[in-house]
Amino acid sequence: MRVYGTEIASRLLLGTAQYPSPAVLAEAVKSSGTEIITVSLRRETADGSGTAFWQELQKTGCRILPNTAGCHSVQEAVTTARMARELFGTPWIKLEVIGHSDTLQPDVFGLVEAARVLSGEGFQVFPYTTDDLVVGEKLLEAGCEVLMPWGAPIGSGQGLRNPDALRAMRAHFPGVPMIVDAGIGRPSDAAQAMELGMDAVLLNTAVAKAGDPAGMARAMALAVEAGRAGFAADPMERRDMAVPSTPVLGMAEFA
């Protein structure tokens, strides 16, 4: 997978929130084989109080993808992104502009506006968006080179609520890196996303809240790998009727 000119071997991206301890987080990251981890500026504050957490993240050797989690306005998201670039030393930013407090659905109007501002300032934006084709087009026009449609509300673990919409996005934007972000609860959800032709999956809660985070991280990694391999193998189309795998022609006839 190539995003913003950077080649990434692992197609699983992992969040860093809600883990029982930094040690559990480090073990999960290692088990997942991920190369990219997301972190909110709220976890690594500018006053230095999050130094210990930042040091743990550096030990993983993963590339940091800061995010604007919890931002509800364009100005808040843009300001947070600017602070994250200074703190983490990267132009990458996972852009979130939340529009609904209960579902955490993106404010797509604010998202496009913020993406345009940040892209103009040299940021490489990873936008957390819905599965709407028009919004996807507007984000690309705003300068984004990757799309991150949700599978379901953040932290819900509901899996892919609208796989047909994701399939349509994949067909509509064939050359655009696409990462399913939010809603993945089980390895089967991750595999399904990859079988649809998605380039990667980003998840957090499903691993952080599992009874065995490291074990779940490994399971997710295997699911992503299997789903991608299945997509690449060009699976058969679904059929409405049964089709015998053993033909009738050539069978013995009994009088």
Rounded Cα–Cα distance for residues 142 and 125 (Å): 10
| 3-class secondary-structure state, position 240 | coil
Catalytic residue among 59, 94, 138, 209: 94
Whole-angstrom CA distances from 53 to 23, 62, 187 are 10, 14, 27
Catalytic status, residue 94: yes
Rounded Cα–Cα distance for residues 165 and 132 (Å): 8
Q: Is 73 buried (19+), middle (13-18) or exposed (0-12) by CB count in 10 A?
A: middle
Q: Is 171 buried (19+), middle (13-18) or exposed (0-12) by CB count in 10 A?
A: exposed
Question: What single-letter DSSP state applies at residue 185?
Answer: -
Rounded Cα–Cα distance for residues 65 and 42 (Å): 14
Question: What single-letter DSSP state applies at residue 147?
Answer: B
Cβ atoms of residues 76 and 107 within 8 Å: no
- The residue whose two tokens read 């345009």 is 116
Catalytic residues: 94
